[in-house]
């Protein structure tokens, strides 16, 4: 359950509604698992008043994992990109260790099944170049390790020969699919957001296509 409010006062009112509902339905919130995060605007607030749930102060955190996606108070995606990079490294090492003697066809099939899913990558829009470059290199090296290719071989060539999408092709595909679902959603708010082309995700999507076309 997520509560969003533009002010602490509003958040307190929302929590009061939750408390009243819980009492009337015989429920109890786990305050120890309840966290609060303040998304900073500009320099951000210097003094944030406490928020209470069932008379217990809610812990304020700088980052939180929600539905598998890492959220941070600065709305940067570096932590989530690093999470996915590490997960990719684990999957790659598992494939290379267990299926080293398989044919190239089997390895390509396994790579497609386990290494092409960058979870929530369609939401990455604010990140450092270093963070994105690390996961791109990890993806390229994962394929080289699995297929036992030299480290200095061309990434574009090896993916083209195997008919496997490169890193940026996966990002473009995920964002396009995400945007399509938003535009056809039954939720009027999501449809309205999808039509707002000045948002960070849309800007990043366009920049990826432009950068790829230059190459």
Same domain for 39 and 82?
Answer: no
153 and 189 in contact (C-beta within 8 Å)? no
Same domain for 113 and 32?
Answer: no
Same domain for 45 and 108?
Answer: no
Task: Note the pLDDT of residue 215.
Answer: 47
Same domain for 101 and 194?
Answer: yes
Quickly count: other Cβ atoms within 10 Å of residue 160's Cβ.
12
pTM (global) more than 0.85: no
73 and 38 in contact (C-beta within 8 Å)? yes
Sign of CA dihedral 88, 93, 94, 95: positive
Does residue 71 fall inside a structural domain? no
For residues 7 and 188, what is the distance between their CA atoms, to the nearest angstrom?
Answer: 24
Does residue 50 fall inside a structural domain? yes
Same domain for 158 and 191?
Answer: yes
Strands (E), 32-138: 35-36, 52-53, 56-57, 59-60, 63-66, 69-72
Same domain for 55 and 104?
Answer: no
Task: Note the pLDDT of residue 75.
Answer: 87
pLDDT tens column, 81-134? 999 999 999 999 999 999 999 999 999 999 999 999 898 898 888 899 999 999
Same domain for 26 and 101?
Answer: no
Does residue 42 fall inside a structural domain? yes
79 and 70 in contact (C-beta within 8 Å)? yes
Same domain for 93 and 57?
Answer: no
Does residue 198 fall inside a structural domain? yes
**What tens-digit pLDDT sequence spans the chain (215 residues)?**
899 998 899 999 999 999 999 999 999 999 999 999 998 776 666 788 999 999 999 999 999 999 989 999 888 999 999 999 999 999 999 999 999 999 999 999 999 999 998 988 988 888 999 999 999 999 999 999 999 999 889 999 999 999 999 998 998 888 888 888 888 889 988 888 777 777 776 677 677 666 554 44
Task: Note the pLDDT of residue 44.
Answer: 60
Same domain for 127 and 86?
Answer: yes
Write the CB contacts of 9 (distance below 8 Å, at least 6 apart in sequence).
Answer: none
Same domain for 208 and 135?
Answer: yes
Does residue 2 fall inside a structural domain? no
Q: Which residues pair with 56 in a beta bridge?
A: 53
Range of the domain at 48: 8-61
Residue 185 token pair: 């959603």
Does residue 129 fall inside a structural domain? yes
Does residue 12 fall inside a structural domain? yes
Q: Could you tell me whether strands 56-57 and 52-53 are parallel, antiparallel, or unpaired per DSSP bridges?
A: antiparallel
Task: Note the pLDDT of residue 89.
Answer: 94
């Amino acid at each position: 359950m997520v509560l969003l409010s533009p002010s602490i006062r509003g958040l307190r009112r929302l929590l009061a509604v939750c408390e009243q509902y819980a009492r009337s339905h015989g429920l109890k919130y786990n305050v120890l698992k309840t966290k609060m995060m303040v998304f900073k605007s500009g320099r951000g607030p210097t003094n944030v008043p406490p928020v209470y749930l069932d008379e217990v102060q809610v812990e304020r955190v700088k980052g939180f994992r929600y539905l598998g996606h890492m959220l941070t108070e600065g709305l940067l995606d570096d932590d989530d990109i690093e999470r996915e990079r590490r997960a990719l490294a684990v999957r790659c090492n598992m494939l290379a260790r267990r299926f080293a003697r398989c044919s190239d066809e089997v390895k390509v099939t396994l790579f497609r099944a386990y290494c092409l899913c960058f979870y929530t990558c369609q939401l990455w829009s604010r990140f450092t170049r270093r963070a994105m470059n690390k996961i791109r290199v990890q993806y390229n090296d994962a394929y080289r390790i699995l297929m036992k290719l030299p480290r200095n071989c061309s990434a574009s060539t090896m993916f083209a020969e195997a008919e496997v999408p490169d890193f940026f092709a996966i990002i473009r595909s995920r964002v396009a699919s995400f945007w399509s679902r938003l535009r056809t959603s039954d939720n009027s708010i999501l449809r309205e957001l999808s039509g707002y082309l000045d948002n960070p995700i849309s800007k990043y999507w366009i920049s990826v296509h432009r950068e790829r076309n230059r190459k």
